Amino acid sequence: MKNSIMLKFKRFRGRGERSDGAGRPSGAWFAAAFAALAALLVCTSPPLSAADRNVVNIYSYRQEVLIRPLLDRFTEVTGIEVRLVSGKADVLLQRLKSEGRNSPADLLLTADAGRLHRALEAGVLQAVHSELLDGLIPPQYREPNGYWYALSLRARPIIYALDRVAAHELSDYQGLADEKWRGRICVRSSNSIYNQSHIASLIAHHGVEAAQGWAKSVVANFARKPAGGDRDQIRAVASGECDIALANTYYLARLANSKNERDQAAAAAVAIAWPNQDGTGTHVNVSGAAVTASAKNLANAMKLIEFLAGDEAQEIYAESVFEYPIRESLAVAPLVASWGKFKADDLDLSLLGKHNAEAVRIADRVGWQ
């Protein structure tokens, strides 16, 4: 191979030689010749295999502080280096689309089945299959064709003020449409993927018309214009600005474990009602992982997903982030356990993505800002 390259180099010299007037090749000629030689060397050098790289590259919507302990543990166990790029969901998705096949990302980590579905629709994911993952992750928590896999569960129950609401008043989500809650509900904007997915679940269970009727009545019961995140809704209930809210449970846990005494007091002033226990169950969503269409380190990406779905990683994550493991047999954090067990909606979560666009239209039509 080397002899072939040098022969091409000599031929190039013979055809394209230029003199500086003293019989010596010019500097410009040398520059061009060496550039051609370098190009030939690059083209003929074999690419590094995934094993040679011994790395996995991640684009993550999750905060680094939440997942770094797990990634470090993965490296400790496997010796595979994890390179992490964190950012906002829409920004990273656009980056994946712009980079295309040239993207360095092997794996996408994100929260909410709706966002996973958006990535799937954007064509930046590839389907993968693993018997281990099929055994670790229940069918409703993975995309049917293998495009994404859930890694943790998050529940979205009703949060209520202990001094103004009785638990028996909150039997299901449908009850939030009752006029008795007029001016008493706080919830974040419909721009939140959490609310979009909740509406999508109602579409899947009851149809578009019923979901829209519910959303219209709930909007009429708002205590204020939607603002802030889930923690802000819980704080508003505690302060008396509203009496009930919809929020993911791990936000309540973070308030309870905050170093801020006001947040601790806010958490102590509210409680959780698990809705729809006699029917479909409480709405749940997931954080999940998907292999990118551009993955150069496919085997390492699969190893990481399998590690994150395993018992050790599941229990570490549940203890530190206060989300629920994807298998009921695994332990949850003590605070989370104190809230009691509940029946979770077993809806196929890929449907949340399927109905996302209609959920957004419903929110627009009913004035859910």
Residue ranges, the chain, pLDDT below 70: 1-52
For the chain, the three-class secondary structure string (H helix, E strand, C coil) is CHHHHHHHHHHHHHHHCCECCCCCECHHHHHHHHHHHHHHHHHHCCCCCHHHHCEEEEEECCCHHHHHHHHHHHHHHHCCEEEEEECCHHHHHHHHHHHHHHCCCCEEEEECHHHHHHHHHCCCECCCCCHHHHHHCCHHHECCCCCCEEEEEEECCEEEECCCCCHHHCCCHHHHHCHHHCCCEECCCCCCHHHHHHHHHHHHHHCHHHHHHHHHHHHHCECCCCCCCHHHHHHHHHHCCCCEEECCHHHHHHHHCCCCHHHHHHHHCEEEECCCCCCCCECEEEEEEEEECCCCCHHHHHHHHHHHHCHHHHHHHHHHHCCECCCCCCCCCHHHHHCCCCCECCCCCHHHHHCHHHHHHHHHHHCCC
What confidence tens digit (pLDDT) does each residue in 98-113 have?
999 999 999 999 999 9
What confidence tens digit (pLDDT) does each residue in 159-208 have?
999 999 999 999 999 999 999 999 999 999 999 999 999 999 999 999 99
pLDDT of residue 53: 73
Instruction: Enter the pTM of the model.
Output: 0.82
CATH class of 50-154+286-332: alpha beta
pLDDT of residue 64: 85
pLDDT of residue 363: 98
Answer whether 50-154+286-332 and 155-283+354-366 agree in fold: yes
Percent of the chain with pLDDT over 70: 86
* Domain coordinates in residue numbering, the chain: 2-44, 50-154+286-332, 155-283+354-366
CATH of domain 155-283+354-366: 3.40.190.10
